[in-house]
Structure formats: structure tokens, C-alpha cells
Structure 1
Amino acid sequence: MVLIKLDSQSEVNGTNGSPVLSKSAVLHRDLSEDFLLLSSSEGNHLILEDGRRVFDASGGAAVSCIGYRNKRVADATYKQILDAPYCSTVFYTTKVQEELCRFLVDSTGGHMARAYIVNSGSEAMEAAIKLARQYFVELSPSQPQRTRFISRRQSYHGITLGALAMGGHKYRRAKFEPLLMKNVSQVSPCNEFRFKAPGETNEEYVARLAKELDDEFQRVGPATVCAFVAEPIVGAAQGCVPSVAGYFKAMKAVCDKYGALLILDEVMCGMGRSGTLHAWQQEGVVPDIQTIGKALGGGYQPIAGLLANHRVIDGIARGSSVFVHGHTYQGHPACCAAALEVQRIIQEEDLVAHVANMGQLLSQGLKNRIGGHPNVANIRGRGLFWGVEFVSDKTASTPFPEAVHVAMCISKLGLDSKYGINVYPGAGSADGLLGDHIIISPAFNVRKEEVEWIVETVGRLVDDYFATLEV
């Protein structure tokens, strides 16, 4: 029997009578946790119900890019809600969707042909998977045997079943493995700190990884592969790990050799976060399909999307011309209005260039302040997207046991009024399960003095946590 008291102190009792949930009616991420109540936000601060002000040094999950309570974005969204809050894209389009997609396409210097707007990064990856598959079916002659994808271990591409199958995040996959697609195989990530051999040059490392990818094409059958999928800078799964120079050029060369597509997942690292509007603009390659999200709308509305290049769009256009995919809320007018205004602000205030400048200050500050700490193994990233990896033994780069939850504990400690800072926790950077890291990814308009405060506060946080840690 399950007893539910419908009041502010609700209890749900299991069949054995033990309480498993109290107070909240929300199916939270963790039923054993009492979540902090967010009251409001302004600038770069989150304001809790108990009056605490927390500086959002991670932008949530690298989402907030212009800070909070921006009236321009709120007004643009409100106007669109009054004009047309919803659009059935089976029959109609809206001016705001057309303008946003035109901005996105033009921002690629003519490399991309069309944009597709959805509401989450997982949805964007699902669309990318289906678009890649349909492209090969639409070709003349058709290539229906192309049903496989190759991705990388220690990656994350979304939480829906298709996107989860594409990723290599062991913890998130574990309980759902029997449900996941079996047509995805994985190769090694490009992580210089963890996996580059002693004495190995960047060129030798890239050549080794390119051979591994080529071998995987050969193993599964090169004519069966739709695409290779990767994040230009690995976010949640590894903590802001960029590739070494020349890596993506080599990976694309392998894809081109076998006629497969290159899909780059920029949901977390893109739209200005890494110091250029698109992360691939620093890699010397152009993807066939690109997913975007988070900093696209800065958290003002749930929005993400994909961009497809001329090769892919021309293939569909010459075939059926119909992308067999759709969502009720795709191209949502209010979401498009918010994102378009966010992108206009970023452009008008030259914030992408500011990201590059502040990123240098942040990275150097972190390295100076905590780089020598005995439990800080590696500080890496690009733009305003930086990760700090923690270890129990710095000489051997030994990660902490999974049960210690170092990254989560550091992040929770940061919310104490003594620090008042929000950083983003992650795990798995060493082997997919072990390896704690935090992500520091403040808003694009962060000021110099705020960056300096972040550096010092993270320094105090790290010092204090490890001073009391008992393993």
C-alpha cells in the first residue's frame, strides 16, 4: 500500500512502510535530496529562497551566456508570445524562425545550408542521426546498407535512447544498455592528458587515433557507416577536453575516404563558448552535420538545433525532399525569438571576442592559483569553457574512488555562503566511471574583476575541501 499525504510535508511510503520521498511532488534527479529553492536571478547571480546569492560560474551546464534578467530578451520573447506563441510547422513558418535560421546559416561563412530548430540537445542529436541515415537512403544510387555510427568512448551526446546510444558515458548508459541501439561502435577519445603516450608527439598521437578509426571502419564494413560523431571539446563526460592540433582534420580524412559523414556535437562547447561562434572554426574542418544548444538561447527558452551542409541538404533535395522527422514544438516561435535576441546581443557587444580574452585570464588564473595543488591533475579547456580534474595521487594521476564523489562534494560545498559559487560537477574523465572534474564556464559578458574573483574563490574551495577530505 502507498500512502500519500497531500500537503506541503507530503510523504510517500513504500510497500515496507519506509519513507522514500518527502516534501516535493517533483520527480527530482535524486529522490533522497532536498533541492535548494531558486527564488530569482540577476546578472550572473542566482538568488535562493533563503537569501543566499550564488555566483553562477558555470552558467548552469554552460547554458547562461549573457547572464540573467535581460530585459531585451524578455521583451522579445513576450512580444512573440502575444503575436504567435505556437506554430504548427506542418503548415506554417514564422518570421522569427526564418531570421534565426538565416543568422545561423550565414554565421558559418556559407558552409552550412539549412538549420533545424528543436528544444534540447538530445533532440538535436536524434535529428542528426536520422538525417545522416536518410541522406544515404536518398542518394542515387541509394546506400541503404549504411546503418552504423562510430563515436568515442567517454563522450556524451544526450539522454534520449538514440542519443544515449551514440555516447560513451558509462554511468548514464548502464541501466539502459539492453534498450540501446547495437549499431554504434566506439573508438578512443582524444585526451592528451590521459591517453597520449609518454614521448609521443602530437603528430604521432593523431596518426595513431586516425589508424584506430580507419581500422574500426574496416572492422564493421566501411560501406555500412553513416557517420563518425564527436564533440570538438568534450564537455560533461571529460570536463572540457579539447583535441590536439590536427586531430579533426585526420578524422575527417578517414570519413571522406569511406564516404561517411562527420557529425560534430557542439551542444555544450559551441555558439561562442569556446572563443569562436562555432568550435569547428578552430579545427580547420567543416562538419557535414552540427548540433547546437545551450548558449544558443542562453537559458531564456529551451532551444537547440542542428545545421547541415550543402552536401547533405542537396542529397535530400534531389531525393524525396522530405525530412521524415518532426516535433510538435520544433521551430517554437517564442524559443526562436529568445535565441535570436540572445545572438543579436552577443554580436552587438562583440562577446565572442570577449570570451577569448576572458578565457585567457581565467585559464592562466586557474593554473597559477591551483595548478600546483597536490590533488589537481589537469586544467584544460578553451574560451570560457574550462575543466579541472582531481586525483588522489598526482604523480600517478590516480583518480579518486567513485564512492567519494569528489566533484559533486566540491560543487555542493561551493553553494555554502562562505563561497557562494556554482561550478558544474562531472565524473568519468579517467575511464568512463572514475575521474572527477568540475567545469567553470561563466557568462560571455563576465568582467575581469569577476574572473579574478572566480579564480580566488575556486582556489579557496579546492584548498578547503581537500584539507578536510578523508579517504
Structure 2
Amino acid sequence: MAPSEFVSRSHILHRSFSDRPAKVVAGDGISLVLESGKKVIDASCGPSVSCLGHSQPEITDAITNHLKNDIAYVYSGSPYTNGATEELADILLSHKPGGLSKAIFVNSGSEATDAALKLAVQYWHERGQPQRTHFIARKQSYHGNTIGALCVSGHESRREFYKDFMSSNVSFLDPCYAYRMKGKSESDEAFAQRLARQFEDEILCVGPDRVAGFVTETVSGTTLGCLPAVPGYFKLIRAICDKYGVLLILDEIICGMGKTGTMHAWQQEDIRGPDIQTIGKALGAGFVPLSGVLLHQKIFDALSAGSGGLAHGHTFQAHPLACAAAIAAQKIIKRDNLVERTAQMGKKLEILLRREIGPLPLVGDIRGRGLFWAVEFVVEKDTKTAFSPRINFCNHVVKQSLEMGLNILGNLGYTGKYQVDHVIICPPYIVTDCELEEIVSRLKAAIVKTSQPFVKSEPTTDVVKLQRKVKATEAGLVG
């Protein structure tokens, strides 16, 4: 397919060549303002990033004030620190959640994953077990796009070009995907135990003295669509990690920092917490690039008793300006009780999705927590038959939603054995009741229109009304 004229002329190497991207000129609350003047409700926060919307004067002031009154850049490898970096770490870790006591701040989620892997390997070196370099991860997972992060990601299409670079010291287990993997008569408890046995068997197969850590998303993001584990799964995983001394590394880059209704998603899993945790996206609310790694006190103690330093670093690690922006974002979240509000609004979003979207003929599953939800599409509900990847159904829903002034996120490429056609709805923490209703209404209309070629039965009265609304929207007669 030939690239669009705009993409051909632009000096930016855009991620997609086929379509001309619409130009965003401003942000207004939870909406994007396009060059044409059209407003688009950002119901996915980009890729689940802009959790405070697109206009926060307090964060703008914090950034400008920092540049006026403080230092713009301090190299983390120098014998200096700075106030913003120290304060942000204090905000996140002063109460030591789950024993997490130290932070590393980097730019992207991919960098955070790389730092977490290197930290785990260094930990075992410091403990006198340098042979522990094997990692266990899950199929159809995603932890970042750098080579190191891709090595522990089970996203097949994103790994495809780089197979020759992929590490041989990583093995992959099944995800906790109950919708498609749980047996008809299998309970959640039995399913969790089956997956836990698979994990323990893999540790024994590799050799317990060789396994450094288990890398997993607490709630899966773009690959499996806002997928929480079944109850008890992480409790079993945590116990097995403790039994064999394997580090539990939880990736909360997309699902953490309040998105699921608690500051950390693992706080809903009845576990003491991870040994290493990655965070990002909502940490700086999208106003600056920022991610991080949180580590348990025992990790610091091992490094402190050993080499006495971190064998890892980046030029822009712990960037003062980025940390200053994140401080402002986290203060807004705490002051306005937005984590608690996310839990409350998430219940309302769930009700709307199950009532309005659930009955649609091509909707197979609705899942999520807090303000982090996904809708999975199927050809046939009873058999859970997936669409062929060639149809690309979910991304047609995304395009149709955009026509209706709604920005959502679909799956990003072929991820593995299970074809998961889904869209993600994760609006900002500041979303209102009316905005939630409008998001679901537009999403429903988009799904209905996209579904028309695949639905054989006569449309219901509600569908006819939605089709009329779609036509009216396209004609510019309604919002």
C-alpha cells in the first residue's frame, strides 16, 4: 500500500504510512481539539497515559516554575541529587507499600523494564548466585519495545523482525485468560491452580537455582485487553516465588498508579506486593515522559552489602523537570481523591458497558477494573469464535469511533495463539457521569455500524435508532 501524500512529504517517520493523521492543536479537559475545530473525546488517554486530561494549569505552572527557580538537568551519574527527584520518590514510597522503598526514574516503560531486568540480575550477582539469569514471562504479554523489553514480551508480531536478537534465557507460560482458557466445568480456583502448577513445573525444569524472576502484568493491557487474573492466581504465584527465591516482577506501567481503583493494581490481589515493580504512563499523566522502577528493601540491602551501587544508568535518568511535573500530577490525584473516584466511576462505567454494550451480538466479553476496561469482539458468542486477523474488526471499530468523535484503542498487532479483537476504554480520572454516558453511547453506535456486515438478523429498534444517530452524526446534525 502506497503511503499517503502527507506521510511521504513529512520529515517525521510516522508509525502508520497509509492514512494522513489528523493534527491535534489543543486539549480541552478530556477532549482533543483538532485543526479542523472538531473535538474528540479521548476515552483511552492515548495509550492509557493522560489520566488527568489534556489541560491542567497546575502542572503547566509547576513545569514553568521549576525551570525558572530550579535546575533543569542533573546527571544521575554525578555526585549530585535534586529536590524534585527526591520529593517524587518520597511521595510514592514514604509509607513503603508492600516493602517497596527505593525508586529509579527513567523516561519510558521500555526503559523501566530494561532497568528492572538488569536490577534483578545484579541482585543475584550481589547475593553470590550469578547463574540466576533466566526469566519466566507469559505468552501474549507486552513489556516494552526495546530489545531487552521485547525479550520478555510474548507479543509475537512485535518480536517477529528481531528474532535473532531475542534472548534464549526467557521461557513463556500461558496467560491467565479465563475467557478462552478456562474449562467449561473448571472453577476459577482450579484454573488458577493449573496455571500455578505450570509455573512451578517451569521453575523445576529450568532449575530453581537458575531462575532470576517472573515477569508479568498485574492486569494485562493492550495484548489481552484489560485482563485481570482470576481470584487467587497472584496469591499462588507469590507463594511459589517465595518457595524458590524467584523475584516477582510486576509490570504496572499501563495498569498502575490508580487506574484500577487502587494506587497499585496488586493491592487488590491479597499479596504482600512484588519484589520489583515498573510504573509509568499515569505517573506523569502524559505531560512529560516519565516511568519508573520501584524495588523492595531487600533488593537495596543486597546491593548495599555488595558492590554498593547500581550497575545501570541513563543520561536522562531522574530528570528533575520530569519529576517536578509528576509531583504536581500526584498532588492533584491525592488532593482530589482521584484514586477513590476512579474506583467509584469505574463501577458506573462497568454498569454502562454491561447494559449498553454487552447485549450487542458481536460482543463476547467485557472486563476490567476501575477506569480500565475492554470489550472483546467475537463472530459467535456461544462458541467464542474469534474474527480472522485479516478482518481487523476491532480497528474498524476504532476508526468508526473516531468518525463519531471518540478516541479509543484497539489491539496492536498479532500477539499470539489467541486472536483477541478488543477495544480499550480507559478515560481520564476526571471523567464525569455525563461524559461516561456519552463515551458509551458513541462506542455503541460505532460497534453497531461496524457490525452491520456481520449480523444476519433484522436490526432491533435500539439498533435502528443508533443507526439513525450515526447517520445524523456523520451529517453533522448532532454532536
With the length of structure 1 as denominator, give the TM-score of the two structures: 0.93
1:80–1:25 Cα change, 3 Å = same
Q: What is the Cα deviation at residue 430 of structure 1?
A: 8.4
Point out the more displaced range, 324-333 or 33-42: 33-42
Question: Separation in 1 of the partners of 2:5 and 2:34?
Answer: 27
Unaligned runs of 5+ in 1: 1-11
Check if 1:329 corresponds to 2:312: no
1:205-230 deviation digits (Å, cap 9, x = unpaired): 11111100011011111110000011
Contact 1:214 / 1:254 at 8 angstroms: preserved in 2? yes
Match of 1:73 among 37, 41, 59: 59
Q: What is the Cα deviation at residue 366 of structure 1?
A: 0.5
Question: Separation in 2 of the partners of 1:160 and 1:278?
Answer: 24
Point out the more displaced range, 61-70 or 430-439: 430-439
1:291-322 deviation digits (Å, cap 9, x = unpaired): 00000011000000010001111111110111
Point out the more displaced range, 29-38 or 273-282: 29-38
Match of 1:316 among 287, 297, 303: 303
Question: Separation in 1 of the partners of 2:224 and 2:37?
Answer: 33
1:400-432 deviation digits (Å, cap 9, x = unpaired): 11111112121112111xx21000111579844
1:305-342 deviation digits (Å, cap 9, x = unpaired): 01000111111111011111000001111110111100
Q: How does 1:48-447 map to 2 (within 5 A)?
A: 48-82=34-68, 83-91=70-78, 92-106=80-94, 108-109=96-97, 111-139=99-127, 142-285=128-271, 286-416=273-403, 419-426=404-411, 431-432=416-417, 434-447=419-432
Question: Separation in 2 of the partners of 1:89 and 1:189?
Answer: 37
1:278-297 deviation digits (Å, cap 9, x = unpaired): 11111122100000000001
Check if 1:463 corresponds to 2:448: yes
1:430–1:198 Cα change, 3 Å = farther
Point out the more displaced range, 108-117 or 158-167: 108-117
Question: Separation in 2 of the partners of 1:338 and 1:143?
Answer: 39
Question: Separation in 1 of the partners of 2:204 and 2:250?
Answer: 22
1:20–1:148 Cα change, 3 Å = farther
Unaligned runs of 5+ in 2: 457-479
Contact 1:427 / 1:434 at 8 angstroms: preserved in 2? no
Contact 2:223 / 2:420 at 8 angstroms: preserved in 1? no
1:194-247 deviation digits (Å, cap 9, x = unpaired): 111111111111111110001101111111000001111000110000001111
1:305–1:181 Cα change, 3 Å = same
Question: Separation in 1 of the partners of 2:160 and 2:454?
Answer: 29
SS at match of 2:158: helix
SS at match of 2:190: helix
Q: Which amino acid aligns with 2:145?
A: I
Match of 2:438 among 444, 453, 467: 453
SS at match of 1:403: coil
SS at match of 2:390: helix
Percentage identity across aligned positions? 43
Contact 1:62 / 1:441 at 8 angstroms: preserved in 2? yes
Question: Separation in 1 of the partners of 2:8 and 2:173?
Answer: 43
1:368–1:110 Cα change, 3 Å = closer
Q: What is the Cα deviation at residue 23 of structure 1?
A: 2.3
Question: Separation in 1 of the partners of 2:445 and 2:5?
Answer: 37
Contact 1:127 / 1:325 at 8 angstroms: preserved in 2? yes
Question: Separation in 2 of the partners of 1:20 and 1:147?
Answer: 46
1:267–1:39 Cα change, 3 Å = same
Point out the more displaced range, 419-428 or 290-299: 419-428
Contact 2:155 / 2:415 at 8 angstroms: preserved in 1? no
SS at match of 1:97: helix
Question: Separation in 1 of the partners of 2:207 and 2:67?
Answer: 50
With the length of structure 2 as denominator, give the TM-score of the two structures: 0.91
1:20–1:446 Cα change, 3 Å = closer
Contact 2:157 / 2:414 at 8 angstroms: preserved in 1? no
Point out the more displaced range, 53-62 or 99-108: 99-108
SS at match of 1:215: helix
Q: Which amino acid aligns with 1:349?
A: D
Matched positions, count = 452
Q: What is the Cα deviation at residue 33 of structure 1?
A: 2.6
Question: Separation in 1 of the partners of 2:50 and 2:56?
Answer: 11
Q: What is the Cα deviation at residue 109 of structure 1?
A: 3.4
Point out the more displaced range, 422-431 or 180-189: 422-431
Question: Separation in 2 of the partners of 1:432 and 1:38?
Answer: 36
Contact 2:212 / 2:247 at 8 angstroms: preserved in 1? yes
SS at match of 2:423: strand
Q: Which amino acid aligns with 1:132?
A: A
Contact 1:168 / 1:432 at 8 angstroms: preserved in 2? no
1:325-370 deviation digits (Å, cap 9, x = unpaired): 0000011111101111000000000000100000000011101101
Q: What is the Cα deviation at residue 32 of structure 1?
A: 2.6
1:142-163 deviation digits (Å, cap 9, x = unpaired): 0011010000001100000010
Q: What is the Cα deviation at residue 106 of structure 1?
A: 2.4
Q: Which amino acid aligns with 1:387?
A: A
Q: What is the Cα deviation at residue 188 of structure 1?
A: 0.7
Supply the RMSD in Å over aligned alpha carbons. Answer: 1.9
